Amino acid sequence: MAKPCYRPTAGLAAAALAALLACQAGAGQAPPHGAPGELQVLPEAVEVATGEATRFDAVAASAVAVVWRVEESDGGTIDATGIYTAPGVAGTFHVTAQNVADPTKIAQATVTVTQGASPPTTGTGGSERPSYVTVSGGGAMPGLAGAPLAACAGDGTTDDTSCLQAAIDGAARAGKPLAIPATAAFYRITAPLNVTTSLIGTGGMPTIQQTSACATSSCVGLRLAQGLTGWIYNLHLVGTFKGTRGEYAHNISVGGVNGVTIKGNLLESPMGDCIADNAQENDGDAARNVLIDGNTLVHSARCMISLVNVSDRWAIMNNVLEDTAPWVSPIDLEPWQAASYISNVEVGYNKVATPADPADTQSGDYVGVVTASGWFDPSPGANVYAHHNYGSWPFTRFVTTASNAGSFSNVVDLNNAQGSTPP
């Protein structure tokens, strides 16, 4: 009796499809859903979790161009290459391929979507978009179909720095995001990870903890490399702040990027800032088009977010900022070199909780949630829009211009008010 042909349950590459068809032909087996040579979709049936992606392939006796669709309006999406992304709800749905040359020829597969584990809630839960500054960030969130998975220990003891860096570099060479799976403990790193592709936490929210304590950039968690376009999503980044501050030891240090979305992350306890643009000092380029959306930032030694170099088109939206160890300002716009220039920054719909720092309050400099300052005149910055932020703060103004020789043009302070909901 002929040996049955292996039928995979996931999307197939072209070589695997050819091998399957050859096997079926040699064994005298007809392709599923019809006679040999008819259009078919493989796999015939697949199970995925909400939000996950998988690949379908259209197969016939000869090469065929097809149009893909999902039959149900709430059944997810599929692109022109057959990459299907499940919706956020469980259910049974159907993917159809239709022959372009002969629209009467169609084939279908069944998708069972199960409720996957959702990432822990971060940010305010809001979905407000920038309205004053044009910011696209990293564009559409990258799918994980075909993405490599970081196979590092994540046991809280092993130094995972080299393993994670090798995984990042490999994914970047392949032109793919890197999926980092959650573990019961955390990924321990002792040096910055140089990020050259998107990083996506999966299976929950993985924790990456920088365990080296210092005041320099050697103790950064993630360093976003020059030219990066992509996403940092669903990661828990932890620093080593336990009372001693570090000027440059940030959770995320942004270099000369060109379109980045930082979304759905929990950033906590850096010795420096949660997010800062210091890495570009060595890149020789500006940090442009950055969207910081729906994150929770807590217990930073210095600022929640700090821009001090050359940064243009940043939007800070729908975040929770819990400044439990205040120093300077929660959001600090402070060009500090003659070449620095901060422009087109929008801060909207964030929930803020910060006490006053007595030293700064007494000096009269940093007395706002957003502080615009500048060490060099005449033009350290322009176009700052802070609006519809809420929470609790001890300052008279939400936005202030510090007294240390700063001159920003067009600084807008609009509808920012104390309370538990956006004004």
What pTM was computed for the model? 0.73
Strand order in the sheet with 296-298: 187-189, 207-210, 236-238, 266-268, 296-298, 320-322, 351-353, 390-392, 417-418
**With pLDDT > 90 as the criterion, what percentage of the chain qualifies?**
56
Query: Of 2.160.20.10, 3.40.630.30, 1.10.4160.10, 3.40.309.10, which CATH number belongs to 161-418?
Result: 2.160.20.10
How many CA atoms does the CB half-sphere of 184 hold within 13 Å? Answer: 1
CA distance 66 to 398: 55
Give the pLDDT mean for 320-338.
85
| Contacting residues for 322 by C-beta, under 8 A, at least 6 apart | 296, 297, 298, 299, 353, 354
- Is the pLDDT at 26 greater than 70? The verdict is no
Domain(s) labelled CATH 2.160.20.10 in the chain stretch across 161-418
Residue 316 and residue 307 in contact, taking contact as beta carbons nearer than 8 Å: no
- Is the pLDDT at 259 greater than 70? The verdict is yes
Domain(s) labelled CATH 2.60.40.10 in the chain stretch across 14-114
- Backbone φ, ψ for residue 362 (5° rounding): -65, -35
Q: What is the DSSP letter of 302?
A: S
pLDDT tens-digit series, residues 109-154 = 999 987 654 455 689 999 999 999 999 999 999 988 889 999 999 9
User: What pLDDT score was predicted for residue 306?
Assistant: 95
Query: Which tokens is 115 given?
Result: 């409720």
Map tokens 């320099």 to a residue. Answer: 216
**With pLDDT > 70 as the criterion, what percentage of the chain qualifies?**
85
| Contacting residues for 243 by C-beta, under 8 A, at least 6 apart | none
Task: Measure Cα distances from 21 to 5, 31, 37, 78 in Å.
Answer: 9, 8, 10, 24
* Nearest C-alpha neighbor of 111 from the set 144, 142, 69: 69
**Superfamily covering domain 14-114:** Immunoglobulins (2.60.40.10)
